[in-house]
């Protein structure tokens, strides 16, 4: 891409959401530019293990999938979003099958094998063995790489959305394009586009421990916030109970099936603790197990706890968990003879950029799809395997709406200023950035984790405000790089999560606070909507401020 460029549609992100919208549009003859901040496959989609939930079995029904989703969502699912996702699920899975994704077939060879996961009352998860994301992504990536209507720009990280409000143009706030850092040349390029689609994934990297890859830094959510979009329900962060605790295995999950097959959770001294927390012990639901582990780690000041299945025969363990046992051995742990050190880890961001059912945000010409979006599908807790479904369905709906917009609306010649580097110099020392990355993630883990209190949240907010000042200062004075861009986004997302958590005066779904342990009646259930102010002053992206907040 040259220093200034134009494309009708610009997609930010090459995960399942981004590739789906890009391929759907490109197949209809639309020219699409697709940016990915690392290589194309680098994102959560590639790591998805379980599969995609959709009504595919003969004994299953749309009503049943809707009921399971709404029941997991603890009173906050938006009925229209749930119905859209579930009604369109089978058609979207068919599209993947037509793209030749190698889903696992039944032993009989007749149709596809479906698994049943926690919270689902039927078998409805289509999968490709235990590496669904890899199979889907490899198939779509190959198509995107050779599609004549798609221009791929890997190693380009979007910095900010250029909007008419930031440029003080009259009329409604409109997206005009983006600034992006070409990581190879170190130059910031300007791309104008009639439509910009955020498909940048979740924000779980804001926590010290996460199952997510390094790409999940909430960039789309932060950029949309600075562009003037509302952000909803950021307090609902899903934690996976057991991620291997090892510096090199930062995003390796130990499947819940290990507990299902008899694995026991123990303190560093060897005592089992789950029976004290729930009568179902290790088989309690995911959020209860994560909360119990968090409680014990905080109470004892432990860095990790242990998952032990070594009482089972070695052959049983190896045959049931071939991949996990191999991966653990790679990091020096023999799960057939010793307990595995584990910690809960931030896994999924339920909140995000508020959109309608076509992925459109509050800013004209700006869409958000996939994990960075808030459609209302998940409510206060995500049902397993509904997130890949959300990526597929809302990327498809967005592609249809975008085609309609491109035909209907004239974009015209838009002039935007180039990125201004005249006032900044090369960074004097990187330690400020690396130190603040660590401090932020540690503060979020310690004070805004699985079990919250107002005091901890206020403490975290205080730290985040100080970090924000420092990062803002650094951002205004020095040339940008990948780590600084991500840190600036992470600190914005941290503020949104804490602000949302502070404004919810109850425990609901994934948000649990000792100060308000009860759940209000579902009749009073409301989303937490953050409304940005000051975003029109933000040409080089100093940051929108969090003024208008509160459950609505």
Ligand X SMILES: Cc1cc2nc3c(=O)[nH]c(=O)nc-3n(C[C@H](O)[C@H](O)[C@H](O)COP(=O)(O)OP(=O)(O)OC[C@H]3O[C@@H](n4cnc5c(N)ncnc54)[C@H](O)[C@@H]3O)c2cc1C
User: Where do contacts with ligand X occur on this chain (CB under 6 A)?
Assistant: 12-18, 35-38, 42-45, 47-52, 132-133, 157-158, 199-201, 211-212, 215-216, 219, 253, 348, 370-371, 385-388, 391
Residue 12 or 284: the one with the smaller Cβ distance to ligand X is 12
> What 3-state class would DSSP assign to 503?
helix
Least distance in angstroms from the C-beta of 64 to ligand X: 18
Least distance in angstroms from the C-beta of 206 to ligand X: 13
Give dist(CA 513, CA 185) in Å, integer: 46
Least distance in angstroms from the C-beta of 188 to ligand X: 12
Residue 5: both structure tokens together: 């460029």
Told to judge if 286 belongs to the known catalytic residues of this protein, a careful annotator would answer yes
∠ Cα 186 191 195 (to 5°): 140
Tabulate helix, strand, coil % of the chain (nearest 5): 40, 20, 40
| 55 in Cβ contact with 130 (< 8 Å) | no
Residue 196 or 265: the one with the smaller Cβ distance to ligand X is 196
Residue 118 or 550: the one with the smaller Cβ distance to ligand X is 118
Q: How many CB atoms lie within 10 A of CB 516?
A: 17
Q: Which helix (H) or strand (E) holds 89?
A: helix 79-98
Least distance in angstroms from the C-beta of 263 to ligand X: 18
Least distance in angstroms from the C-beta of 44 to ligand X: 4
Give dist(CA 16, CA 149) in Å, integer: 18
Residue 256 or 506: the one with the smaller Cβ distance to ligand X is 256
Residue 85 or 388: the one with the smaller Cβ distance to ligand X is 388
Residue 48 or 135: the one with the smaller Cβ distance to ligand X is 48
| 137 in Cβ contact with 114 (< 8 Å) | no
The position carrying tokens 């997130």 is 387
Least distance in angstroms from the C-beta of 315 to ligand X: 27
Residue among 174, 226, 259, 286 flagged as catalytic: 286
H-state helical runs in 240-385? 257-260, 274-277, 286-300, 314-320, 322-330
DSSP string of 122-178, one letter each residue: S--EE-STT-HHHHHHHHHHHHHHT-TTEEEEETEEEEEEEETTTTT-SSS-BEEEE
Provide the annotated active-site residues.
Answer: 286
């Amino acid at each position: 891409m040259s220093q200034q460029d134009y494309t009708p549609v610009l997609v930010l992100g090459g995960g399942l959401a981004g590739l789906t919208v890009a391929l759907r549009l490109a197949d209809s003859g639309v020219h699409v530019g697709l940016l990915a901040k690392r290589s194309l496959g680098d994102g959560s989609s590639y790591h998805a293990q379980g599969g995609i939930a959709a009504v595919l079995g003969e004994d299953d029904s749309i009503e049943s999938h809707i009921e399971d989703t709404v029941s997991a969502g603890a009173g906050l699912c938006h009925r229209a979003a749930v119905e859209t996702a579930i009604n369109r699920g089978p058609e979207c899975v068919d599209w993947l099958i037509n793209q030749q994704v190698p889903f696992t077939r039944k032993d009989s060879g007749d149709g596809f094998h479906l698994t049943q996961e926690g919270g689902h009352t039927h078998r409805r998860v289509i999968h490709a063995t235990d590496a669904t994301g890899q199979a889907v992504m490899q198939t779509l990536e190959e198509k995107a790489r050779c599609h004549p209507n798609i221009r791929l720009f890997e190693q380009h990280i979007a910095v900010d959305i250029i909007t008419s409000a930031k440029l003080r143009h009259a009329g409604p706030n409109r997206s005009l394009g983006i600034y992006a850092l070409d990581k190879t040349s170190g130059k910031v390029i300007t791309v104008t586009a009639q439509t910009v689609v955020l498909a940048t994934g979740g924000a779980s990297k804001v926590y010290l421990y996460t199952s997510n890859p390094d790409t999940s830094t909430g960039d789309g959510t932060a950029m949309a916030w600075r562009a003037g979009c509302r952000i909803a329900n950021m307090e609902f962060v899903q934690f996976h109970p057991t991620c291997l605790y090892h510096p090199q295995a930062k995003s390796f999950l130990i499947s819940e099936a290990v507990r299902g097959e008899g694995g026991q959770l123990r303190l560093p001294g060897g005592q089992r603790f789950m029976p004290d927390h729930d009568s179902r012990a290790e088989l309690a639901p995911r959020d209860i197990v994560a909360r119990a582990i968090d409680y014990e780690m905080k109470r004892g000041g432990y860095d990790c706890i242990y998952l032990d299945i070594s009482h089972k025969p070695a052959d049983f363990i190896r045959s049931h968990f071939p991949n996990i046992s191999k991966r653990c051995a790679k990091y020096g742990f023999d799960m057939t003879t010793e307990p595995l050190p584990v910690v809960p880890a931030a896994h999924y961001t339920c909140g995000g950029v508020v959109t309608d059912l076509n992925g459109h945000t509050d800013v004209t010409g700006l869409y958000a799809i996939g994990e960075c979006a808030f459609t209302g599908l998940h409510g206060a807790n995500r049902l397993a395997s509904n997130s890949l479904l959300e990526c597929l369905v809302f990327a498809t709906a967005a592609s249809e709406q975008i085609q309609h917009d491109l035909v209907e609306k004239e974009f015209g010649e838009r002039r935007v200023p180039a990125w201004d580097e005249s006032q900044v110099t090369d960074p004097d020392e990187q330690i400020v950035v690396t130190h603040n990355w660590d401090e932020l993630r540690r503060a979020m883990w310690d004070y805004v984790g699985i079990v919250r209190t107002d005091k901890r949240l206020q403490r975290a907010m205080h730290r985040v405000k100080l970090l924000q000042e420092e990062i803002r200062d650094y951002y205004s004075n020095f040339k940008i790089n990948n780590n600084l861009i991500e840190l600036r986004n992470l600190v914005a997302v941290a503020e949104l999560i804490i602000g949302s958590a502070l404004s919810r005066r109850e425990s609901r779904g994934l948000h649990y606070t000792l100060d308000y342990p009860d759940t209000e009646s579902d009749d009073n259930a409301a989303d937490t909507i953050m409304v940005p102010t000051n975003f029109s002053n933000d040409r080089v992206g100093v940051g929108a401020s969090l003024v208008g907040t509160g459950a609505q």
